[in-house]
Amino acid sequence: MVRHEGRSLFQCGTCRHQTSLIAGTLFSGTKLPLKIWFLAIYRISQAKTGISALALKRELGVSYPTAWLMHHKIMHAMAERDSVHQLGGQVQMDDAYLGGERSGGKAGRGSENKLPFVAAVSLDAHNHPRYLKLAPLAGFTNQAVSEWAEIHLKLGSSVSNDGLACFAAVTEVGCFHVPTVVGRAKPRELPDFKWINTILGNLKTALSGAYKSFKYSKYAATYLGAFAYRFNRRFNLHDLVVRLIVDVTRCQPKSQRAIRKAEDNF
């Protein structure tokens, strides 16, 4: 083992290749002590409504660009970890949007400032929420919903929703569709949609309370994924910190350039 610029490096005695314990992880190349990273992980994992990069900057004693990058790297690991899980059994599903209508622009679902995303939550035997999925879509079309369902729903899942026509596309991937046409009633007024609407209300409160703004078209998947990660592990906050450290360690390195050059995929 050798020391280089205050860090421990391991060197092969045969080929002289050098590596470190953080090589190949999201910590790779960092100049910050790991205790600063662990504190950031703790704050991000324990903040029910999320925490802004500005708040991290103040708590960690680092610059705003550093706090912003740490924030996004950790949230990326959270979103990536939950992306591999699928919802099964009884599932409530709803359409939702990030952003609001612009003055003089289109109103309603057609607003150019709104980014569509799908919210889905699986229920246990007592009709209590278990696992959550939040994912941006290109639009609420049969193709987009079918592609989403193929990735995120288990075969044979029973999907209930408010009757939006495109949601019937879940049947194309072997799921059952149970629509409830709400008519003039608001979905939040119906007991069938209690949990999905409660979660969407909490999400709206979290985003508006913790973040002044962010570019929905670039970073929606990251912020939504981080919210779902915390929700899905809400019953064991003590273990959440350790689990997130493990998930960050397992995540491949992601440079600032790669994060900032995220394309508008939706």
β-strand 129-136 against 158-161: which pairing, if any? unpaired
Both 205 and 110 in a single domain?
yes
Reported as a single tens digit per residue, the pLDDT across 192-244 is 788 898 999 999 888 887 777 677 778 888 999 999 999 999 888 788 999 99
More confident site: 255 or 246: 246
Number of Cβ within a 10 Å radius of residue 98:
19
Both 105 and 71 in a single domain?
no
Both 75 and 97 in a single domain?
no
Both 122 and 202 in a single domain?
yes
Both 153 and 178 in a single domain?
yes
Q: What percent of the chain has pLDDT over 70?
A: 82
Q: Quick one: pLDDT band at residue 187, thresholds 50, 70, 90?
A: low
Establish if 17 belongs to a structural domain. no
- Who contacts 173 (Cβ-Cβ below 8 Å, separation ≥6)? 146, 149, 150, 153, 155
Establish if 182 belongs to a structural domain. yes
Domain residue limits at 67 = 29-82+235-260
For the chain, give the mean pLDDT. Answer: 83
Both 205 and 134 in a single domain?
yes
Establish if 109 belongs to a structural domain. yes
| Segment 106-127 mean pLDDT | 76
Both 182 and 71 in a single domain?
no
pLDDT at position 98 over 70: yes
- Does this model's pTM top 0.85? My answer is no
Both 199 and 101 in a single domain?
yes
When divided into structural domains, the chain yields a total of: 2
Both 99 and 206 in a single domain?
yes
Residues in a beta bridge with 90 = 123, 158
Establish if 146 belongs to a structural domain. yes
Q: Quick one: pLDDT band at residue 117, thresholds 50, 70, 90?
A: very high
Both 35 and 131 in a single domain?
no
pLDDT at position 191 over 90: no
Establish if 16 belongs to a structural domain. no
Reported as a single tens digit per residue, the pLDDT across 16-49 is 766 677 777 888 888 898 899 999 999 999 888 8
Q: Which of 84-88, 113-117, 118-122, 158-162 has the lowest mean pLDDT?
A: 113-117
Both 102 and 220 in a single domain?
yes
β-strand 176-179 against 115-123: which pairing, if any? unpaired
Establish if 69 belongs to a structural domain. yes
More confident site: 18 or 92: 92
Establish if 34 belongs to a structural domain. yes
Establish if 20 belongs to a structural domain. no
More confident site: 36 or 190: 36
DSSP string, the chain: -EEETTEEEEE-TTT--EE-TTTTSTTTT--S-HHHHHHHHHHHHH-TT---HHHHHHHHT--HHHHHHHHHHHHHHHHHHHTT--B-SEEEEEEEEES-PPTTS--GGG-TT-EEEEEEEEE-TTS-EEEEEEEE-S-SSHHHHHHHHHHHB-TT-EEEES--GGGGGGGGGT-EEEE---TTS-GGGSGGGHHHHHHHHHHHHHHHHH-S---HHHHHHHHHHHHHHHHHTTT-HHHHHHHHHHHHHHSPP--HHHHHT-----
Both 111 and 51 in a single domain?
no
- The CATH number of the domain holding residue 139 is 3.30.420.10
Distance in angstroms (rounded) separating the CA atoms of residues 134 and 70: 22
